[in-house]
Amino acid sequence: MREEKSKHKILIVDDEKSNLDILRRLFRRKYQVLSAESGEDALDILAEHEVALILSDQRMPGITGAVLLERAMQTHPDAIRMILSGFTDTEDLIESINSGQVYRYVVKPWDSNDLQQTVDRSIETYELTIENRRLLSELQILNASLEQKIQERTVELQTAYDDLKQTQAMLVQTEKMATIGTMAGGIAHEINSPLAAILSNSQRILRFPDDEQKHIQSATLIEKATKQCKAIVESLLKYARKSEVETEEIDINAVIIETLSLVEHHLELKNIQIVKELSEVPSIRHSFVELSQVLTNLIMNAQDAISANDAEVGKIIISTAVADDKISLSVADNGIGMTQETQMKLFDPFFTTKDVSKGTGLGLSIVAGIVERFGGQIEVNSELGKGTTFIIRFSNKGES
Ligand SMILES: Nc1ncnc2c1ncn2[C@@H]1O[C@H](COP(=O)(O)OP(=O)(O)OP(=O)(O)O)[C@@H](O)[C@H]1O
Ligand SMILES: [Mg+2]
């Protein structure tokens, strides 16, 4: 048997005491029965109790059963509302039943067994409604906390992504600076000769203060040497600058020549021979600085591959060509070559086979990024111990 505490409360309302007694006796075993002799008393009881079911007589002095149930619907929406009525009351009740204020009506005189069953079933409905509501609110709470978690996680991910982007941008710039460091030897050499010319010609002017002829000759040479220095510094600045990438119509051969002027000396020092096989190619829309960065990275890799292959005399062949609708640029070396495994991964960011101090593994991922951005393709052919060729192809939009 249920504990008194866990029994549902039901409210029975009838102005006939004898009916209340019968009903109380009928239900008290299973339910906690509250009773009232009028609709008004019933409302007072409802003000203080949660009830699972209200069973009310229709015809009473004061407010009718239907009116009582209509009011109860506002305050106790989940409670099951039942009316006890004689056949003659049905007319009055039709509206209440239709508008949902009355869940069931039981015709007087009632059969105790039937009534008991009807009430039991109604209580089951009540329990289901309450359980549904509880589950729904639990679900809403879970949903809300899930939504909050998703939001928090999204913010975390966004922050991580922003950090990563920033780090990546920094790395790209660092990589560029490292390449410039490598170029420094070459630049110093390039600048050294015009500086020597400037120095010797200024000394000549000072030594012959009255020789106008010599002054003109020396000043002309100084001007030429100064312009040379200026050009070298400018191309270096252009390379190092972080500003937005500018695209323009460029001649790939010119990019090769200018880039080589920065690295050639460095390669000579390592005894590496540079061969240029340049064909006349149509101009392409690209960024001068970025294409120069691509070339520098490929040349630096070639140089490292040659150094690792100490038996050979080093040679790097840079060529340009037009075939069908493609313009190609290739950098071939006779360095150490690559295994299949390396070839599979070489464009991955941070993939390197070099010492930590030597390579970041970013070079080729930057190269691939730049080439792709300008609609080109990059391809590699390599043979272990023999050498490697990188070929970049751009579509030749201008000509047929
Ligand atoms: N010409 C080449 N010959 C042989 N192996 C090469 C050549 N170019 C690239 N590789 C291989 O591909 C790897 C990745 O090259 P990548 O330029 O991306 O990075 P890295 O040269 O190691 O470092 P970083 O360029 O950042 O200084 C190299 O470590 C090397 O193993
Ligand atoms: Mg590299």
Arithmetic mean of pLDDT over the chain: 87
pLDDT for the residue numbered 315 = 95
Round to whole Å and give the CA distance between 359 and 353: 8
Ligand 1 centroid, distance to 330 Cα (angstroms): 16
Q: Kindly state whether residues 191 and 314 are assigned to the same domain.
A: no
Would you state the structure tokens that stand for residue 358, as one six-digit string?
């030597």
pLDDT for the residue numbered 244 = 56
pLDDT band (50, 70, 90) for residue 229: confident
Residues with CB under 6 A from ligand 1: 175, 297, 301-302, 305, 333, 335-338, 342, 346, 351-354, 359-365, 388
Please determine, for residue 228, whether its predicted confidence score (pLDDT) is greater than 60: yes
Please determine, for residue 213, whether its predicted confidence score (pLDDT) is greater than 60: yes
Ligand 2 centroid, distance to 358 Cα (angstroms): 9
Distances (CA, A) of 193 to 150, 189, 197, 367: 64, 7, 6, 32
Number of helices (H), then strands (E), in the chain: 10, 12
Q: Kindly state whether residues 346 and 391 are assigned to the same domain.
A: yes
Point out the ligand 1 atom lying closest to the alpha carbon of residue 333. 1
- Whether 243 is in a domain gets the answer no
Q: Are strands 315-323 and 326-333 parallel, antiparallel or unpaired?
A: antiparallel
Residue ranges making up the domain that contains 370? 248-395
Please determine, for residue 38, whether its predicted confidence score (pLDDT) is greater than 80: yes
pLDDT for the residue numbered 242 = 52
**Count of domains forming the chain:** 3
Point out the ligand 1 atom lying closest to the alpha carbon of residue 331. 1
Query: How big is the chain, counted in residues?
Result: 400
- Whether 37 is in a domain gets the answer yes
pLDDT band (50, 70, 90) for residue 3: very low
From 115, 144, 160, give the residue that closes a domain.
115
Average pLDDT estimate for 305-310? 87
From 47, 80, 115, give the residue that closes a domain.
115
Q: Whose CA is nearest to atom 11 of ligand 1?
A: 346
Residue ranges of E strands in the chain: 9-13, 32-36, 53-57, 80-85, 104-107, 248-250, 273-278, 284-286, 315-323, 326-333, 377-383, 387-395
Round to whole Å and give the CA distance between 320 and 240: 25
Point out the ligand 1 atom lying closest to the alpha carbon of residue 360. 26
pLDDT for the residue numbered 354 = 87
pLDDT band (50, 70, 90) for residue 400: very low
The answer to which of 62-66, 86-90, 126-130, 343-347 has the lowest mean pLDDT is 86-90
Q: What are 241-296's pLDDT values in tens digits?
A: 655 567 889 999 999 998 898 888 778 888 899 999 999 999 998 888 889 889 99
Please determine, for residue 110, whether its predicted confidence score (pLDDT) is greater than 50: yes
Average pLDDT estimate for 130-157? 93
Closest-approaching ligand to the CA atom of 366: 1
Average pLDDT estimate for 114-124? 93
From 237, 269, 286, give the residue that closes a domain.
237
Q: Kindly state whether residues 231 and 254 are assigned to the same domain.
A: no
Please determine, for residue 394, whether its predicted confidence score (pLDDT) is greater than 80: yes
Please determine, for residue 69, whether its predicted confidence score (pLDDT) is greater than 50: yes
Q: Kindly state whether residues 131 and 94 are assigned to the same domain.
A: no
One-letter amino acid at 364 equals L
Residue ranges of E strands in 214-298: 248-250, 273-278, 284-286
Distances (CA, A) of 88 to 58, 83, 96, 363: 11, 13, 15, 96
Q: What are 71-90's pLDDT values in tens digits?
A: 999 999 999 999 988 766 66
Q: Kindly state whether residues 306 and 228 are assigned to the same domain.
A: no
Q: Kindly state whether residues 300 and 224 are assigned to the same domain.
A: no
Pocket test of ligand 1: the residue of 177, 334, 354, 392 to mutate, having most ligand atoms within 8 Å of its CB, is 354
Q: Are strands 9-13 and 32-36 parallel, antiparallel or unpaired?
A: parallel
- Whether 81 is in a domain gets the answer yes
pLDDT for the residue numbered 1 = 45
Average pLDDT estimate for 145-172? 88
As a whole-number percent, the residues of the chain with pLDDT over 90 amount to 57
Residue ranges of E strands in 229-351: 248-250, 273-278, 284-286, 315-323, 326-333
Q: Kindly state whether residues 111 and 125 are assigned to the same domain.
A: no
Q: Kindly state whether residues 358 and 274 are assigned to the same domain.
A: yes
Q: For residues 84 and 65, is the Cβ–Cβ distance under 8 A?
A: yes
Closest-approaching ligand to the CA atom of 358: 1
Average pLDDT estimate for 77-104? 79
Ligand 1 centroid, distance to 352 Cα (angstroms): 6
Would you state the structure tokens that stand for residue 84, as one six-digit string?
């006890």
Q: Kindly state whether residues 338 and 389 are assigned to the same domain.
A: yes
- Which CATH number goes with the domain that contains 385? 3.30.565.10
Q: What are 317-348's pLDDT values in tens digits?
A: 999 999 888 999 999 999 999 999 999 989 88
Q: Kindly state whether residues 219 and 269 are assigned to the same domain.
A: no
Q: Kindly state whether residues 67 and 187 are assigned to the same domain.
A: no
